[in-house]
Amino acid sequence: MLGGPRANLARISIATCLLALWAHGWGEGLRGASLPWFFLSGVIGFGLGDLALFGALPRIGPRLSILLTQCLAAPIAALAEWAWLGTRLHSADVVCAAVILLGVAVALAPDRGLDVDRRTFWIGVLCGFGSALGQAFGAVVSRKANTVAAATGLAIDGGTAAYQRALGGVLLTALAFWLTRNRRAANDAGQPSVNWRAAWPFVGANALAGPTVGVGCYQWALSTTPSGLVLPIVATSPLVTIVLSFFLERLRPTRRAVLGGLLAVAGAVALADAQSGWSLWPTLKKGLNM
């Protein structure tokens, strides 16, 4: 109804307003030495990451875009956090990350449900990979922001962190929208007019569910838990996306896509299990050594 750039700017603008109400009413507003780090996290994750995601969506569809973004972001973030903040990885983490990537590879294999040419497909894949990088590095920078906040003794709640991130994201998104206005106008020539009246309910629901409530909870999790554990749990969303895509866009997933999604989610669950010290991984390892 709106096109990727317009929809992305609209949803993040609404989310920023909603988060501002929370942050200035009940949260910490723009306080804290961690503000520059959260702002940078928003530029990377909300800004660059979401721009790449909205570049992938019209090319390879929501199912593959989300699979690529969520499942690749987890091992990238775990590696980046280890290199920068010293969060060490164990062999179990590496194995689980490999399972996630294998699931992504299986699900990304072209099928009859994706009717695009090879060039469009690979541009979409590159955009999805860029989206994964944005989410991964945005999460790690948020971890750094929480470390700074803890060092200064000012606890930043998830809603405030999401608001401070959104400020960076909305500014970059608006700038990109303005810079590409001429090319977008040329591409829109002869196309149906933008249907804002029909689009607003979807934009509003997206803004509330994703960058407002969803990211608020996401930042809350990152304030206490390494990104190597948080992002794999977030990566379980592709199964929900497959179901939503079927009902909203009538995109029937192939068995291979479903298998890849299940495999990726299984790897994410195993990674969470291994990092949290639950009983699944030691039990499995003991069984393999028998």
What's the pTM? Answer: 0.81
pLDDT reading at 38 higher than 90: yes
Q: What was the pLDDT predicted at 43? A: 94
Q: Which of 78-87, 193-202, 231-240 has the lowest mean pLDDT?
A: 231-240
pLDDT more than 90, % of the chain: 41
Structure tokens at 248: 């909203």
Taking the CA of residue 222 as centre, how many other CA atoms within 13 Å lie in the half-sphere pointing to its CB? 37
Q: Give the span between the Cα atoms of 28 and 41, in whole angstroms.
A: 17
For residue 190, pLDDT over 60 is answered with no
Which pLDDT score is estimated for 223?
Answer: 92
Between CA 53 and CA 273 the distance in angstroms is: 28
d(CA 225, CA 158): 13
| pLDDT tier, 275 (very low <50, low <70, confident <90, very high otherwise) | low
Residue 11 exposure: Cα atoms within 13 Å on the Cβ side:
27
Residue 115 contacts residue 252 (beta carbons within 8 Å): no
d(CA 2, CA 194): 6
| pLDDT band (50, 70, 90) for residue 165 | very high
What was the pLDDT predicted at 84? 94
Mean pLDDT of 146-166: 93
Query: Does the structure show a pLDDT above 60 at 290?
Result: no
Give pLDDT tens digits for 58-75: 888 877 887 788 878 988
Instruction: Tell me the chain's radius of gyration from C-alpha atoms.
Output: 19
pLDDT in tens, 226-261: 888 788 778 777 677 777 777 877 778 778 878 888
Q: What is the mean pLDDT of residues 8-32?
A: 94
Please give the pLDDT value at position 252. 80
**Listed residue (102, 7, 109) closest to 50, CA to CA:** 7
Who has greater pLDDT, 220 or 107? 220
The whole-number pLDDT of residue 36 equals 96
Short-list 144, 19, 157, CA closest to 77? 144
Is the predicted pLDDT of residue 196 greater than 80, yes or no? yes
Q: Which of 264, 267, 259, 262 is nearest to 111 (CA)?
A: 259
Average pLDDT, the chain: 84
Closest CA to 55 of 114, 7, 106, 16: 7
Q: What does the alpha-carbon distance between residue 56 and residue 121 come to, in Å, rounded to a whole number? A: 9
Q: How far apart are CA 145 and CA 39, in angstroms?
A: 9
Q: Which residue has the tokens 């590696």?
A: 79
Q: What is the pLDDT of residue 288?
A: 58
| Cβ-contact 84, 144 below 8 angstroms | yes
The structural domains of the chain, with segments of one domain joined by +, span 4-83+112-187+200-235
For residue 286, pLDDT beyond 70: no
Q: What's the pLDDT score for residue 77?
A: 93
User: How many angstroms separate the Cα of 182 from the Cα of each of 7, 87, 174, 176, 177?
Assistant: 17, 45, 14, 12, 10
